[in-house]
Chains A and B, each alone.
Chain A
């Protein structure tokens, strides 16, 4: 399987090649493919393609059930979909006690979508890149969640929702108060009032870090796990025929990681949003 790597530059090249996204960017008024290193205005076409494709698979397959749901005679696929929906619904109900039409569908979308994107990791690392190489596409990274942009975009969306829910439920003053009045309450009277700005500044630094850590940890956890898993698949693919049992073993273990990471992403989203809408 390391044949490609063997062509020019050995295993180092092989690994690098597998970790390179198919990119497009605009340089000096022209569309440029794959020469976009460090260019902020680029796009990872392969990540986007697979991410949207898997999202559409999720939507279409679930929509097919939603269109002809029947309470009396559920088909097998309906039973599966309902199981997932009920699982997400009970997770949301356990954690989130407010009323929101958004959070449960958001959790479902995140769970299934991330799960499908992670699942691409189980396809042997050379199959689709090999095929696309044959039709002239040089780079093809098929696991969108190993692209930090993808996980970061999702985490940022969740982050924006966190801020939105905080302001919606606690008001703009409540949001600012949350950032400045914790964890040390600044004194409001007496001689200590001189120290209040200092304490507020201290609180603000601490709470901002805590707030920003939410999307960062959310995205980097998923990215880190999937990237590491993908890297190990690539390393296993380098070792010749002995890769088969190793690949199998790692894939079996990875089924757990794939599901767990999707669940964690969903669960943390729900937890963050329920914290944002909770009144102290």
Chain B
């Protein structure tokens, strides 16, 4: 347990060198890393907080957008229903009109046809009657002098 200069000096020199090395090459990089990480953690926490806030905002916005969309959808639905009813009503009207028009047209045609057939028949009947009368009477009957009688006859058919 004697004091001796060799150990004292040696240890002092060793200490100076070690402290110098630590000060130069160990302490600064490690502390920089620690501080950098602390900064990053603080930033991360702040970002998380702002993210949370944004999420709340976005949720509120989404809700309002959904409500608006629902409102619009119901309006569109109402409009569409009304339009559909209108179309159906129009269709019905058109159908009825068309039916009546076609009915009238058919009736007129039938009438026309009937009249035409009647006329023809009348002509033919009067011709047959004349031919019959000619064959029966043969001699005296003149087409022109009996025209009025034949006309009356044809009209009665």
Contact = CB atoms under 8 A, between A and B. Distances in A.
A78 B25 CA distance: 15
Given A58-B18, A66-B30, A48 B4 contact: no
Contacts of B5: 40-43
Nearest to A39: B4
A25 B22 contact: no
Interface string A8-32: 0000000000010001110000000
Contacts of B25: 63, 66
B157 interface: no
Contact of B21 (A19, A23, A59): A59
B21 A48 contact: no
B66 to A, nearest CB: 40
B19 to A, nearest CB: 5
A19 B1 CA distance: 8
Interface band, chain A: 35 or more
B33 interface: yes
Nearest to A56: B18
Contacts of A106: 19, 22-23
A274 interface: no
B26 interface: yes
B14 interface: yes
B37 interface: yes
Contacts of A69: 29-30, 32-33
A74 B23 CA distance: 21
Interface of B: 1-12, 14-16, 18-19, 21-23, 25-34, 36-37, 40
In the A-B complex, list the 5 residue pairs whose CB atoms are closest, starting with the nearest.
Answer: A43-B6, A153-B11, A149-B7, A69-B33, A105-B23
23 contacts: A39-B2, A41-B4, A48-B7, A55-B18, A58-B18, A66-B28, A71-B33, A82-B30, A89-B31, A102-B19, A105-B19, A105-B23, A105-B26, A106-B19, A106-B22, A109-B15, A109-B19, A113-B15, A147-B7, A150-B11, A153-B7, A153-B9, A157-B12
Contact of B30 (A19, A85, A156): A85
B4 A108 contact: no
A185 B48 CA distance: 60
Given A108-B27, A152-B8, A37 B34 contact: no
Contacts of A23: 4
Nearest to A104: B27
Contacts of A51: 11, 14
A37 B29 CA distance: 46
Contacts of A19: 1
A67 interface: yes
A36 interface: yes
Interface in A97-131: 101-102, 104-106, 108-109, 113
Contacts, number: 138
B107 to A, nearest CB: 96
Contacts of B16: 157
Given A43-B4, A81-B30, A89-B31, A149 B11 contact: yes
Nearest to A85: B30
Contact of A66 (B1, B29, B36): B29
A153 B8 contact: yes
A91 to B, nearest CB: 14
Interface string A56-100: 001100110111011110100010011001100100000000000
A40 B3 contact: yes
Given A48-B10, A156-B8, A109 B2 contact: no
Nearest to B9: A153
B38 to A, nearest CB: 9
A52 interface: yes
A50 to B, nearest CB: 11
